[in-house]
Structure 1
């Protein structure tokens, strides 16, 4: 298998607005559409990007410019096909049109030939499909969605026959043999702009109550299609319904990757997945009938004008739910949006040095928009499915792929939609992915290091969890003369290659030491780039840059206190004073110092570790909680943002509506798991997430609620006492934060510089489930199971000032032992030991206190180790919490 890290991804065009489909000409031009109306081209030879044409299209309810493809003879006839929705007066529709591309890469609008139109709906406008492709015989395929509202059916079969429920019955479209929607259509374009019907479509021309253009029917939203260039077998990704579990109405929702070796019916809305049947459902009476028969599916909807007896149903090639698939576990879990890309054909005669390797010859590349992965599907010579392999797993940095095609150069060109659905994303882009078969340049990382040097130039000093200085600064700021120590490291990715030399370029002309570590003194004010270059045996160079700003010292901001900087205790205020010094400003204007405090019951960060406190930029405060971490790894961010409109409500809007309501955490957690709709929009259904445990879903809701806590910020004096009385007994993760910042007056060269100091106080009683890490213990929901001999918890960066003892809440079935505390290392000396006795039951708790053997100050990593030296010593103790005491 080819080396994954030899694939190189390059952004060609950035900041697109909902990109849709891409088509690559043999001459290197890459055409692509944006739903908002743009048809653009990128020339891979000239690297020029230009607008071909902007279509005047409606964009409500998902309409706009969708698919694009090039005629097989594009090099000579310059024909380009577009599927788009023109402006409409009454009922929306789509045109499948052919245009001529002129020599200046613009459209000849007078050349438009409308092959046919496809009706749409203004309300709702769901499921548009719109993918275009040619087979080797010159037949043109178009995918169309079912244009059906999924809300009344709650993610099951949308078969609502009631006449006043428009767009709620997919039997009127996808299962209607006399309708073009919910299909993949196949026609043979003619030179005059008309089309003929090729042999082998689902219904012969002239068959009553059918449309001869239909190749496959029974489709929900076949968003992207692909054709095997060798066999003309059709493949597509099918975006499925949202039900999170099986019920009396039928099976849970599945996405599908489908294959049609010949024309056929693929079941929707009567079947899903591997032909799993739904039940007949009378929406007027709520009477649930028998399951549909895949051998004789019947469409008796009054909204259909097609045949009642439909062709037998074909099962999906690949089908998968929200949770882990039993049949296809490699597809993962989470949200679903299945899409087919394109087959790769290896050309051994191609001179391209960056073409994909022969290993991928004949592979179909598929992707899931929600899960953000790309995979290669393997089929045999008869188009039988063999397996699915991950592609660029872990290093693709995909931004929600939405289409993909190969150029004649063997390079993959991909459209990435960007982070959030329904938004004009900054990271929506056209990229290329190449395979580097040759030597690769080294990767280089440079840093500013050494706390003494950092103190000299007044930049920030960073501490690791054990209190030692760490090379974390990527910028140096200070007055002239400024002496800076640099360090660097280079890595060569090629096994048969190595780095042969380093060099530093300090001020645009001065070359420093011929090694990765160097020291340089800047004597004049200015903004400089310190560049570390590494050269390998083949002469390829990698580089990294450090910004050095000379002329303005960074202000020093300090929050001083005789109190502890990690914890709060009941009925004990936090006494503080803010001190600021700045070499250039001299006497500090108190009005320029900003001090504020806030309390959060579910903080964006737990105040453990020096990296989360001390001197830092305001933007770095709050770098993660359990809920935030879970949210970041979920698909929620595809449809929701904190404060910008998208397909779903903003998190701030959710918090404003529900925070403080009794049972809202549990209710919204259930909504996350089960999905649903109607609370915010009639046009979008929230996906179910049955794979998320209830406890995790509640943590996600708590994180959402915490986002409004910033509105509770209080302006504080430069010195005084912070009253710590906002927390509640149940706020196990509650946090008080005190922030002080100062922006100096700056100078003409460097400009203003800001420094910030942060003190974050957590409850002195720490639940062990909230420890930074634990070894030898297992998590069970919201608690930890019993640990073995030498199991431990780690709490990072704890201020031990004023701490004299620790009290443990524990239970132990039948084993006595000791609880030890070690600082800064698991192998460090024991500074406290508390013997404990068995409680006789895991449900019976007791408390024991261990005293520190001396007074400690400053921040330390606290290792709490459980010990029982004689055997048996497994499952010895369950620790529930640790209380830090000042007495």
Structure 2
């Protein structure tokens, strides 16, 4: 999440102005795949068959790449550097530093590159970069020749096409290039328009002296090359001609013949299907998080152009959702623009006024969950159009992407860090989509993607934070393995800490191989010395120290994998335990206090140092409707705001201390220190977006976040730069529980106790002596007695929705883990059931465990008619996993129940 700047002005405006390449090096359609030995088009390959390898690391704002037929990978950085990765030497070399006009952090520069389809013969490369020509700033697409030794022939430069831009606009430069099957070059250009002061809607400000605030002068202007995708044919001498089928014929008044697609905001990445010559691109959409009187909220788009067309910006967005005519002087709302007959009446329009009908997007999605394309998720948006893959059965490369992905269009999102494979039907219309490597991809802001001539995927990853030299900016390659796979080594022990002599039982039995039937061997090493070849050996450490233990697992053909453990000898873990005479799972709605005690013991510390004891009580006012978190997760919820930020797109534009696209969180904390209204203001601003406080850049909206969530995020941000405020409490006593009183019961009280022992002096192998100090923590989490369906820990044979559980049948069950039933005498269910009565049995610790409650219910007559009914619970001590089992053996016994919540009822004392 970019809290104080717009992803569009920065991220998408300046930086995101270069292009994807559709660099396949054949002009004929790929061969029809035959039966594939490794996989086929019906069976989706296991994700673990894809391997991601880093080819070049530590890049600085990588922009675009191109793979030559011989495997060399050329790529550029925005500041002007042009590199080649040599696959033979496995090295990256700087070839040239372009004198590109890369203004401050966000504007222009060396934006893109592509490789000529006949590169093997002519050695031509094309670059898209910013130049200063006298008093005018321009974008130049130029052709260079590369020598056999990969050096760039600077004297060979031919300027193919240039167009002027308004340099003061820090937004939307485009910069992508691709080729079709006929040798035509496509070039994407952004609308070069200030997106601010239009409230995240259509920038159609026609006031005098404000041309850069009006996208009608560029994207909607048929006589301007900005906000377009151009199509030209480059001739041998560096001149270009206009192919048949562009949007406007050559010589037509008020138009430019180079235009193939108009009405673009920022077509940041484009590609062309080498088999069909159909154009695809990702369109970076406007910022508005909600609909307003000016028009619809913002959408990003994935677009397809089977022929030349007008794609509507700035009058329409998404599937032709129209904006209203809007007077920026009087704030008067006019009529809706007509997608069938848009008219450009802007005084800044230098071309014809009556425009062609607007074309709808192929895929469109907002910040919130898309009802049409829910798989794309929620969050920041930055759509990129990737390549279409054609499986070549004659290509003798075992690592090529399998036939399963034949004819799939790959698209990706810079902000959301995902890649999707889009499926098209025989008429090339959208059919479906599926995530590519959703679990193992670990994509770090994908910024350009290409299918190489070897059938593998090449990917530039920009890195975690926008506008800086990221450590994780890199060039990677994704290969497919259709044969034998490496085993997975998993080493563990429960005896990793203790006093010498320490006998440790190591376990390697959880190691496995994806290829069933492979014979595995095991080797354990301690500090480089082999100690065993058993699966589960034991070993005695006779001296104090800190030891590295390695388990190597190898299959029968020699592929191996290693896992590492650390064993610490010379100290034992302290014992820390929180106890309470009250219920240790729930607090009553009327609860005002908690009796507790923290006991601490340590075998080595004769006296417990109270300064090393830390007991803290925190109240989290609201947590997301999700299954209960385990102890390890809950220890971090003291800073729930920090966790929410870590799970969002904030770090794309903000760091804690360093400068990025937006201000650091520490700067924000200092700015609002002492402002009592800051939490409410900033929490709202994160949701609705806005700007003006940190320059002219805006923050995009985040309507998918709740007010409670953004409040916690702001609390965390404002705490930075200050000494942390902790609610430290004594080791024992009675705590006040009043923060939840009068509020909706969705919060948690979290009591944490920790002790760090004095440690002992040990000598790690080959190192100087050091103090081996150990810390132990215990945690007590008290939750409301009411548990919604969306919060239960496990479900079986039922569906989970926002709050509800449904499609519940005979034998379905849900599980609540680690529940203390002290003082609980009943359960209240809120449910609906159309016409099927049944029973709910509550078992402890297993499906067939003891039954402590049975609830026989009657139908409510309608799925929309909910009722609340109570069942008794047998007195039960200790903590238990509770299995709620639905029982109706006689038919009909399907679709029995809709479960909203269950409330644990305290008995009267």
Interval of TM-score (by shorter of Structure 1 and Structure 2)? 0.7 to 0.9
Deviations 1:202-233 (A, max 9, x none): 44555544434333222111111112324544
Task: Look up the match of 1:506.
Answer: 525
Does residue 436 of structure 2 align to residue 392 of structure 1?
Answer: yes
Q: Are the counterparts in 1 of residues 576 and 755 from structure 2 also a CA contact under 8 Å? A: no
What is the CA deviation profile of residues 824-861 of structure 1, one whole-angstrom value per residue up to 9, with x for unaligned ones? 335332467899999999999798885625xx45x543
Determine helix, strand or coil for the equivalent of 1:179.
coil
Alignment of 1:409-420 (within 5 A): 409-420=454-465
For 2:671 and 2:789, the matched residues in 1 are separated by: 29
Which residue of 780, 790, 815 corresponds with 1:760?
780
State how far apart, in whole Å, the 2-side matches of 1:791 and 1:214 are. 60
Match of 1:467 in 2: none
Q: Does 1:49 align with 2:92?
A: yes
CA separation of 1:870/1:406 partners in 2, compared to 1, >3 Å: closer, same or farther?
A: closer
Deviations 1:29-75 (A, max 9, x none): 11223334443332222221233344562234443332111233444
Unaligned 5+ segments in structure 2 are 1-40
2:537 to 507, 518, 539: 518
Superposed CA offset, 1:255-305 (max 9, x none) = 333334444433322334455544433333344444444454322211122
Deviations 1:617-646 (A, max 9, x none): xx9822699999987776666556777765
Displacement after TM superposition at 1:198 (Å): 4.8
Q: Closer, same or farther in 2 for the Cα pair 1:97/1:834, shift >3 Å?
A: closer
Match of 1:12 in 2: 55
Query: How many Å separate the matches in 1 of 2:603 and 2:724?
Result: 30
Distance in 2, matches of 1:482 and 1:111, equals 72
1:551 aligns with 2:566: no
Do residues 271 (structure 1) and 271 (structure 2) align?
no
1:697 aligns with 706
Distance across 2 between alignment mates of 1:641 and 1:760: 32
Given the superposition, is the C-alpha separation of residues 847 and 190 from structure 1 closer, same or farther in structure 2, using an over 3 Å criterion? closer
What pairs up with 1:62-461 in 2 under 5 angstroms? 62-75=107-120, 77-86=122-131, 92-101=137-146, 105=150, 107=152, 112-189=157-234, 195-198=240-243, 200-243=245-288, 249-294=294-339, 296-321=341-366, 335-377=380-422, 384-385=428-429, 387-390=431-434, 392-395=436-439, 396-422=441-467, 424-449=469-494, 453=495, 457-458=497-498
Q: 1:25 aligns with which of 56, 61, 68?
A: 68
CA contact (8 A) 2:825 2:905 kept: yes
Q: Would the aligned equivalents of 1:580 and 1:742 in 2 still touch at CA under 8 Å?
A: no
Of 106-115 and 652-661, more deviation after overlay is shown by 652-661
Q: Is the 8 A contact 1:627 1:699 kept in 2?
A: no
Partner in structure 2 of residue 882 of structure 1: 904
What is the CA distance between 1:576 and its match in structure 2? 3.3
**Is 2:734 the counterpart of 1:727?**
no
* Aligned partner of 1:686 among 692, 697, 700: 700
Pairing 1:748–2:763 present: yes
Q: 1:498 to 1:262 in 2, by over 3 A?
A: same
Q: Distance in 1 between matches of 2:244 and 2:627?
A: 69
Distance 1:372 1:513, change over 3 A: same
* Separation (CA, whole Å) in 2 of partners of 1:284 and 1:172: 18
Aligned pairs for 1:629-708 (under 5 A) are: 647=661, 653=668, 668=683, 672=687, 682-687=696-701, 689=703, 692=704, 697-705=706-714, 707=716
Q: Conserved in 2, the CA contact under 8 Å of 1:868 and 1:876?
A: no
Counterpart for residue 713 of structure 1: 726
The alpha carbon displacement at 1:421 in A equals: 4.6
Alpha-carbon distance in structure 2 between the residues aligned to 1:839 and 1:270: 50
* Of 640-649 and 52-61, the range deviating more from structure 2: 640-649
For residues 228 and 466 of structure 2, the distance between their equivalents in structure 1, rounded to whole angstroms, comes to 24
- Cα gap change, 1:98 to 1:697, in 2 (>3 Å): same
After superposition, the Cα gap between the structure-2 partners of 1:110 and 1:528, relative to the gap in structure 1 and judged at 3 Å, is farther
Separation (CA, whole Å) in 2 of partners of 1:261 and 1:600: 57
Q: In the superposition, relative to structure 1, how do residues 360 and 822 fare at CA in structure 2: closer, same or farther (>3 Å)? A: closer
Post-superposition offset of 1:612:
0.5
CA contact 2:627–2:790 (8 Å) conserved in 1: no
Give the distance between the partners of 2:363 and 2:830, measured in 1 at CA: 49
Measured at CA, do residues 353 and 604 of structure 1 come closer, stay the same or move farther in structure 2, by a change above 3 Å? same
Q: Which residue of 1 aligns with 2:45?
A: 3
1:300 is paired with a residue of what secondary structure? coil
- Specify the alignment match of 2:513 in structure 1: 492
Where 1:129 maps in the other structure, the secondary structure is coil
Distance in structure 2 (CA, Å) of the matches to 1:136 and 1:608: 52
Instruction: After TM superposition, give the deviation of residue 498 of structure 1 in Å.
Output: 1.1
1:542 matched to which residue of 2? 560
Preserved CA contact (<8 Å) 2:386 2:411: yes
| Count of aligned positions | 839
- Greater Cα shift, 116-125 or 325-334: 325-334
Question: 1:384-425 CA distances to partner (integer Å, 9 max, x unpaired)?
Answer: 436344253534343342211122211110123344555554
In the alignment, is the contact (CA less than 8 A) between 2:521 and 2:555 conserved in 1? Answer: no
Equivalent residue in structure 1 for 2:753, among 726, 735, 739: 739
TM-score normalized with structure 1 length: 0.79
- Write the distance in 1 (CA, Å) between the matches of 2:297 and 2:222: 26
Deviations 1:508-527 (A, max 9, x none): 3435244x333233344555
Describe the shift of the 1:550–1:295 C-alpha distance in structure 2 as closer, same or farther (beyond 3 A).
closer
Superposed CA deviations along residues 350-374 of structure 1, whole A, max 9, x for unmatched, are: 3322122345455432223344443
Aligned residues of 1:8 and 1:436 also touching (Cα < 8 A): yes
CA distance in 2, matches of 1:596, 1:27: 63
SS in 1 for 2:519: strand
CA contact (8 A) 1:736 1:762 kept: yes
Distance 1:197 1:311 in 2: 20
* 3-state SS in 1 of match to 2:521: strand
CA distance in 2, matches of 1:210, 1:260: 19
Seen in structure 2, the aligned counterparts of structure 1 residues 366 and 849 have a Cα distance that, compared at 3 Å, is closer
Give, in whole Å, the separation in 2 of the partners of 1:658 and 1:665: 14
Over residues 787-819 of structure 1, what are the superposed CA-to-partner deviations in whole Å (9 max), with x where a residue is unaligned?
99998775433467xx34446566799999999
Give the Cα separation in 2 of the matches to 1:212 and 1:17: 37
Equivalent residue of 2:386, what SS?
A: strand
SS at match of 1:701: helix
CA 697–263 in structure 1, closer or farther in 2 if over 3 Å, else same: same
Could you list the runs of 5+ residues in structure 1 that have no partner in the other structure? 459-477, 614-618
Shift of 1:249: 4.5
Q: Deviations over 1:175-211 (max 9, x none)?
A: 1223221012234445665545555544455554443
Contact 1:607 1:761 in 2 (8 A): no
Deviation at 1:749, TM superposition (A): 0.7
CA contact (8 A) 1:773 1:794 kept: yes
Normalising by structure 2, what TM-score? 0.77
